[in-house]
């Protein structure tokens, strides 16, 4: 994986500048890159107000690398990780009172206070407190020692893949005011969602009380999560995957075989290409989401197994030992960044401690 830190920083800076005009701050989400410290630092250099991740090990990785900015846990903390969440995270997004009580107890043990942001269910059907229960829930949080109610948030376009609308943001703003009337404390943070919210945020509508977005895909890949289309003004090639070609051959029609189980006869890894050239790449489902890869012009995806990806290379001259440059969507990026066998080669300044291994570069072979 070749990673261009300059393009990530530029994407962050562009979005921070555009959203600042709307009075919306940006939280950089690092979960897709496993909390890679150099990438996190590039987001910070681009002006994001803080970072957020879904896994405590990623947060610990960033803290040990010397990152001191505010970091939030955006997946509800597990009861088994309370102490680490209090120690390493400034805030966490929550939906369960039992979890918040445990956070408060852990915070008291560490003689500190932990900020709580309440996730509201607004149609994505993943996590969230029902809107009609929000004020009562918030009142209980304000009465819990060791935690402080910092804000409310919503999530869109993850489970439902439906983009949020202006009316959703109006409802969220009203819920913030409702919570304030019901339990007193000012709702400092109203986080409207993630990269799917950008068409709304950069449109003509007023932002209301919404003053934060949590951006991962837009900063990293420059794409809209709902449509998959590039976002104007952003780099879409900050990440590139390189896979070595390990075989190139023209394959005949599949040889007919008999199967004892008729169901197996319907399972086909690759289509019949009758002599077309095929190349096999040294990457597979263990390394990335192969359905989320974009191949060079003239190369067509045929199929993949755990360790192999097969492409039609009839219209693209490739040779054994050469490397093919491949684009990734968010799912493919996330899988590749977490795969231990995928080397992460950094381009650009590297300042974080403990990232030397990931920052090692290697000479690329002929790029297709």
Average pLDDT over the chain reads 91
pLDDT at 359: 42
Distance CA 182, CA 323 (A): 61
SS3 311: strand
In the predicted structure, residue 271 carries a pLDDT above the cut 80:
no
pLDDT at 251: 77
pLDDT digits (tens, 9 = 90+) for 54-74: 999 999 999 999 999 999 999
Q: Which helix (H) or strand (E) holds 93?
A: strand 91-94
SS3 52: strand
pLDDT at 204: 85
pLDDT digits (tens, 9 = 90+) for 226-269: 999 999 999 999 999 999 999 999 877 666 655 555 554 444 45
Which position has the token pair 């949020």? 164
Given pLDDT bands bounded at 50, 70 and 90, which one contains residue 316?
confident
pLDDT at 365: 36
pLDDT digits (tens, 9 = 90+) for 89-138: 999 999 999 999 999 999 999 999 999 999 999 999 899 999 999 999 99
User: 29, 8 in Cβ contact below 8 A?
Assistant: no
Q: What is the mean pLDDT of residues 20-30?
A: 97
Distance, first Cα to last Cα, the chain: 15
Burial of 291-303, coded b for 16+ CB within 10 Å and e otherwise, reads ebbebeeebeebe
């Amino acid at each position: 994986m070749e990673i261009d830190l300059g393009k990530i920083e530029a994407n962050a800076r562009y979005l921070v500048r555009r959203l600042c005009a709307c009075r919306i701050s940006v939280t950089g989400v690092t979960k897709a890159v496993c909390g890679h410290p150099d990438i996190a630092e590039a987001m910070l250099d681009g002006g994001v107000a803080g970072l957020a991740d879904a896994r405590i090990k990623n947060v610990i990785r960033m803290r040990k690398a010397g990152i001191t900015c505010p970091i939030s846990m955006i997946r509800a903390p597990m009861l088994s990780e309370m102490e680490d969440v209090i120690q390493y995270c400034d805030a966490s997004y929550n939906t369960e009172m039992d979890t918040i009580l445990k956070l408060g107890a852990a915070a008291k043990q560490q003689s500190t206070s932990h900020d709580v942001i309440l996730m509201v269910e607004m149609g994505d059907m993943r996590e969230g407190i029902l809107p009609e229960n929000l004020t009562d829930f918030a009142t209980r949080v304000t009465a819990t020692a060791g935690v402080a109610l910092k804000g409310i948030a919503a999530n869109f376009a993850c489970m439902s893949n439906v983009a949020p609308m202006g009316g959703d943001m109006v409802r969220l703003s009203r819920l913030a005011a409702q919570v304030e009337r019901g339990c007193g404390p000012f709702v400092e943070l109203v986080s409207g969602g993630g990269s799917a919210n950008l068409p709304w945020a950069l449109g003509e509508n007023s932002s209301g009380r919404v003053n934060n977005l949590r951006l991962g895909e837009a900063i990293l890949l420059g794409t809209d999560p709902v449509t998959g289309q590039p976002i104007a003004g952003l780099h879409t090639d900050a990440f590139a995957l390189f896979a070595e070609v390990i075989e190139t051959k023209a394959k005949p029609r599949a040889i007919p075989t008999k199967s004892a189980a008729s169901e197996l006869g319907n399972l086909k890894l690759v289509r019949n290409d009758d002599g077309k050239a095929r190349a096999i790449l040294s990457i597979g489902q263990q390394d990335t989401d192969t359905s989320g890869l974009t191949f060079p012009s003239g190369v067509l995806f045929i199929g993949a197994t755990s360790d192999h990806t097969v492409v039609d290379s009839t219209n693209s001259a490739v040779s054994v030992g050469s490397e093919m440059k491949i684009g990734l969507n968010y799912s493919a990026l996330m899988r590749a960044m977490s795969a231990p066998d995928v080397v992460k080669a950094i381009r650009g300044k590297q300042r974080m401690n403990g990232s030397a291994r990931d920052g090692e570069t290697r000479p690329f072979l002929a790029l297709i």
